Amino acid sequence: MTTMLLNGNPVTVSAEPDTPLLWVLRGELHLTGTKFGCGIAACGACTVHLDGQPIRSCVTPLSAVGAKAVTTVEGLSGSEAGALSAAWLEVDVVQCGYCQTGQLMSACALLRATPKPSDQEIDVAMSGNICRCGTYPRVRAAIHAAAETLAPTQK
């Protein structure tokens, strides 16, 4: 049995320590907001936060989590998350939607570290998140819009 801090609460799971965090979340806890896409950290659909850092849960074993705080889309909160959700809806980013929770996790970590990201900073932070529907232009627009909401440019 392993106890981890998940979305602010201690949770005890029976998965073996080598189980990827993704499959602990999906297979044991049935938290299906975190998605399986590739299994090799190549698509970003499984992105969660570990102590606030975006990580690929498909290649992160439970044993590597330790005492660090795990945040999934189900527990995502705060001003950046709120601004991003609102901007995502306003821009109407989503198509099939499967990758979008991962996109939002990466975008949220970006805004927390870089409140006003440039296009190039968005490219770097979001390059690990594949969207086969091609929502990238709207993802970019929504990140800029959320950044603007959080800290309006002085005019």
Q: Yes or no: say if 61 and 21 are a contact pair by the CB < 8 Å rule.
A: yes
**Please, which of residues 114-153 interact with other proteins by CB under 8 A?**
122-124, 126-140
**Please, which of residues 20-49 interact with other proteins by CB under 8 A?**
20, 23, 26-28, 30, 32-40, 42-43, 45
Q: Is 88 in the site for other proteins (CB under 8 A)?
A: yes
Q: Are strands 2-6 and 69-71 parallel, antiparallel or unpaired?
A: parallel
Token pair in block for residue 86: 């609102």
Q: Is 56 in the site for other proteins (CB under 8 A)?
A: no
- CA distance from start to end of the chain: 56
Using CB under 8 A as the criterion, what x/- string covers residues 90-109 for binding other proteins? Answer: --xxxxxxxxxx--x-----
As a whole number of angstroms, the distance between CA 19 and CA 23 comes to 7
As a whole number of angstroms, the distance between CA 109 and CA 97 comes to 19
User: Residues interacting with other proteins, by CB under 8 A?
Assistant: 15-16, 19-20, 23, 26-28, 30, 32-40, 42-43, 45, 72-74, 85, 88-89, 92-101, 104, 122-124, 126-140
